[in-house]
Structures are given as C-alpha cells and as structure tokens.
Structure 1
Amino acid sequence: MTTLYITGAGVSAESGIPTFRGEDGFWTIGSRNYTPQQMATRTMYEENTTEFLKWYYHRFVTYRHHGPNEVHHWLADKLLVTQNIDGLDGKAGNDDYISIHGRIDKMTKYHVQGEDVEIETAPWGLVDETNLTSSLLELFKISSKGPELNVSLKPFVLLFDEFYTDLYGIGRAQKRMWDASKIVFMGTSFSVNITQMALDIARHKDIPVEVVDPEPTHILHSQVKYFPMTAKEYIAYGKDT
C-alpha cells in the first residue's frame, strides 16, 4: 500500500510555530493597516513592497531557526506533500518531500507565473533589523519603481492570488495523489486548494482517507476515518495498535 501524507500547520505547532487560524495564528495577525489575507498577496508585493516584506519577515522569517519535532522525524521516510513553508521536514531528513506552498529559506527572481526560474537561498541572515526597511529593499533589489521583473527578488512562497505551478511541485504532487492507495491528512483544515485536489482524487479512486486533527474537518467521502487528536498523538496511537 502506498500511503501519501499531506500535512498542514498543525504538524509544526509542537515546534513552536503558530498555526494559521488559531488564536495566535498567522491569519489572525495582520499589519497596522491590512488583514493577513490582504498582506499575503502578489498584489501587495507589487504595490506596497515595503509593507509586504516587513510583514513577511516578522510573521514567518523569525521562525526560520526552529527545529523539527517528533512528527517531522516520523514523517522523514514517508511520501509527503506539505503545505508548510517552514522547511522542518527537510531538517528532519526527508529528502524528497514536496513543499507545495514554498519555503521561507528560499527566494526566486520576481517573474511571470509559470516561467521556469532558479530557486535560491534567501538572504535573511544579512538583514539589518536596526534599518529593517532599507535593508529588506536592498537585499530584494527593490528600486524606487517597485519590483522589476527578472531583476527584483521575491520570497519563495505561494501567495493567495497566485496559482500552483511546477515551480512549487504541483505536477509531482498530483502524481503522488494519483499513485497513492491511501491518503492521510494531518493538521490541516481543508481550506486550501491542494487538500481539495487530493480529496477529489481520493473520491475518484475511492481510496481510504484518514483525517488527523484535534478538531477534524468532516468531509464527504465513502472511505474516511477520523482521528480527533494531534499528529503526535496519532503516531503514538499507531505504535500502540
């Protein structure tokens, strides 16, 4: 049996990284003038780059040194697609996982979506927090004109108003979904397109699905089993059964 694991923010909570929709979640804290859903967009990056980069730095980049937890290590030899951008699955030793929404430690040239560009290491270690605005603009090559195509740099993260491309591994992820004989969703609220895509394929193939979450989202599927627990509790449950 080929089991595909699709993970969300709940898996990284044990590592001290906020989930997206909890009380301290990424999507509950915006900037002074904008909601998170307005901030995390390509439009904001293009039209108010300073605000975007400062928000992104404070809300995501400050967690870049956190380490993997027991669940990440358990998933290290599993077939995995993660929605998380924290890179913890790689730190835990999974060399073939797909980070379908990008990585906080990476960046690309600002480009037209769908184009093939190189993924580079982000220069977060060079940021001067005492001169945060000017430092970020300089490091990401943002001129007074704003972001310039194929010149400026952009965090390697899929934003709300962007779409899945092969740069983010969508082709590989879909193949894993079609090849799977079981899909396990861990720590996700089913509120993003990738989980709906996987669920549609599971329905089409009529394969078993497991939903692991303390408050699992109930889904329409003929073969679904719910585990109302954390991912850490789930792997302990598996060892005991």
Structure 2
Amino acid sequence: MENQLENIIQQVWHKEKRNLFTFLTGAGISSDSGIPTYRGIDGIWVKGTQFHKPEEFGTLRYFRQHPEEVLQYSLFRKKMFENAFPNQSHYDLADIETQLQDRFHLITQNIDNLHRRSGNQRIYEIHGNNREIKCSNGCKEILELPTEIKGKNLDEDLTDHDKELLTCTQCGHWMRPNILWFDEYYDEKTNKKFSALKIAKNSGVLFIVGTSGATSLPIAIAETALKYGAFIIDINTEDNNFTDLIRNKKNALIIREKSTEVLKVIKTIIEKTVS
C-alpha cells in the first residue's frame, strides 16, 4: 500500500496540469472525535429526533411543520460539535495543506467545523455548516449564528431570546441552519457544487476518506475526477458506493484501513516528496 501511494503521489506532484491533491471527507473522519456517524444505531439522526427516520426529520418540509423542534435539535448538535475536538486525522490534513499550499483542496460533507478548527483553510463544505443560518423563506443573506445562541441539552427548549434571534429581520419567517436537507438540491451558494466539481476536474488524485457516497454530489465529484484522469483512492473500512464506481479501474486504489493510519502514511510521503 505504501509503495502504491508513493508512486501515485510522486506522479501527481510532477504533473503540470490537473495536478491538485483533493481530499473528500465524510462522517467517518470525525468518529474518533466522538461524533456519531449518521445512520448507525447510535447515529446522529437517531439520537434526539424522537426516532423519526432521517428522510422525514431532516427535511425542509418537516422544518416548516415543526421549526422549534428542528432548531432545538440543531442547537443540541451545536453543543455536541463544540464539545468535540479535532482528532489526528484532522490535524494530518491540516499539515498536508501546509505542505501542498494551493495544490491542496478539501471537500467535506461534514458540518461539524472540526476541519476548520484543526487549521484547514481551503475547505468546501458541500453539505453546508452548523455555524451559519439563513431564512427558511428564501431571503438571500447567509448569516453567522448569533453568539448569544448557545448549544442545548436534549431537554432544553428555545428561549424567547433565541426565537427572536432566529427570526428573519426581512420577512419575519424562521431562520434555519445553513445545511443541506434530504428534500433539497445542491447549489453553489450553500453547497459549493460547481466549485467542487471544478476542483474534481483539475485533480490529479482524489482521496476519499470516511464517506460511503450515499448522496449525489460526492459521487459526481468522484465521477468527474475519474473522467478527467485522476487517481481515485478509496480509504474506508468497508466497501461503499465509491468502490462500485472504481472497482477494476487502472487508476484506482482501494484501501481498507482506518483513515488515521493511512493519512499518517500519506502525510509522510508528501513531506518527503515536496521537500
């Protein structure tokens, strides 16, 4: 595995065009930080949702029917994220960005802010993030979540002041988390759809870390990278939707190990290559 990685990294480093090092990450990379993945038995969509199915609870339709419940749960997640800390995988990716500079790009499905807290800057958050809010009625502006709004325990309701701060000053509708829900489409403003696909097109290698490819844009990113000649490296503990895409492709590498161990190897190879 190490020799294959070294060969790929050196090839990409010496390319003149389509030579970006792109990392696509998902919930698996944050599991060592104590943040549950989405669809497991103890998944983030199960705890605190009154046991609604993800496809029901995580929708704009449900939010319009039960806005306070969804906002309270969003603040429960806010507290969960704030109490978590970046793990070694996050820090290794920050170190890799330091080495590669503008040839590094990170596309993440995670909304937990741990990549940013570990030091990464070239980040494309394709599922949005939990730091921001926007009007549920479609007013254009995206705002930072006011600092006065604190994270919640599961049994804490919104305060009157919370409700005031979570009301759109332009139209009076509820503000909502700036994240992608199941009944919504990827766009550029919230999800950086076209920017992410452009990066994929110009990638020399796409590392897929801790994500199964259960949604459409991550798969489209991998398909685009593959179409334009990138190496695809699938780093997950189990086979997934990306595996089906790249199986038997000559410029693909499938690694079934924990991301923590593999990223450590990748970081060492990159440090040696660029020095």
Provide TM-score, normalisation by structure 2.
0.76
Q: Please tell me whether the aligned partners of residues 132 and 142 of structure 2 are also in contact (alpha carbons under 8 angstroms).
A: no
1:62 paired residue number: 79
Deviates more, 1:70-79 or 1:122-131: 122-131
Conservation of the 8 A alpha-carbon contact between 1:61 and 1:124: no
What is the aligned-residue identity percentage? 24
Correspondence for 1:180 among 188, 203, 220? 203
Distance 2:205 2:267 in 1: 19
**Which 5+ residue runs of structure 2 have no aligned equivalent?**
1-11, 13-19, 98-103, 270-275
CA contact (8 A) 1:26 1:36 kept: no
Residue pair 2:109, 2:125 contacting (<8 A) in 1 also:
yes
Where structure 1 has 5 or more consecutive residues not aligned to the other structure, the ranges are 143-147
Q: How does 1:3-14 map to 2 (within 5 A)?
A: 3-14=21-32
Pick from 154, 167, 171 the counterpart of residue 176 of structure 2.
154
Q: Supply the AA of the counterpart residue of 2:26.
A: G
Counterpart of 2:49 in structure 1 is 31
Question: Matched residues in 2 for 1:92 and 1:204: separation?
Answer: 32
Alpha-carbon spacing, 1:30–1:51, altered in 2? closer, same or farther (3 Å): same
Residue matched to 1:50: 68
Cα drift, residue 159 of structure 1: 0.7
Shift of 1:151: 4.4
Q: Indicate how the Cα distance of structure 1 residues 155 and 239 shifts in structure 2: closer, same or farther if over 3 A, else same.
A: closer
Q: How many pairs are equivalent?
A: 234
**For 1:35-94, what per-residue CA distance to the aligned partner results, in whole angstroms no more than 9, with x for missing partners?**
222111011111221222233333x22223122111111212141000000011111111
Tell me, yes or no, if the aligned pair for 1:186 and 1:212 is still in contact at 8 Å: yes
- 2:145 maps to which residue? 121
Name which one, 1 or 2, has greater alpha-carbon Rg. Answer: 2
1:227 Cα offset (Å): 1.1
Secondary structure of 1:159 counterpart? coil
Q: Deviations over 1:95-127 (max 9, x none)?
A: 221111111121122343xx7423323446446
Asked if 1:17 is matched to 2:35, the reply is yes
Deviates more, 1:149-158 or 1:24-33: 24-33
What is the rounded CA distance, in whole Å, between the counterparts of 2:203 and 2:135 in structure 1?
A: 34
Q: Tell me the TM-score normalized by structure 1.
A: 0.85
Do structure 1's residue 107 and structure 2's residue 125 form an aligned pair? Answer: no
Amino acid at match of 2:236: D
Moved more, 3-12 or 20-29: 20-29
2:213/2:219 contact within 8 Å kept: yes
Instruction: Identify if the C-alpha distance between structure 1 residues 122 and 24 changes in structure 2 by more than 3 Å, giving closer, same or farther.
Output: farther
Distance in 2 (CA, whole Å) between partners of 1:61 and 1:228 is 31
Sort the Cα spacing of 1:175 and 1:124 in 2 relative to 1 into closer, same or farther, 3 A. Answer: farther
Q: CA offsets, 1:21-43, max 9 Å, x none?
A: 22311234463362222111011
Aligned counterparts of 1:128 and 1:188: Cα–Cα separation in 2: 28
Give the equivalent residue in structure 2 for 1:226: 254
Report if the CA contact (8 A) 2:75-2:150 is conserved.
no
**Over aligned residue pairs, what C-alpha RMSD do you find?**
2.6
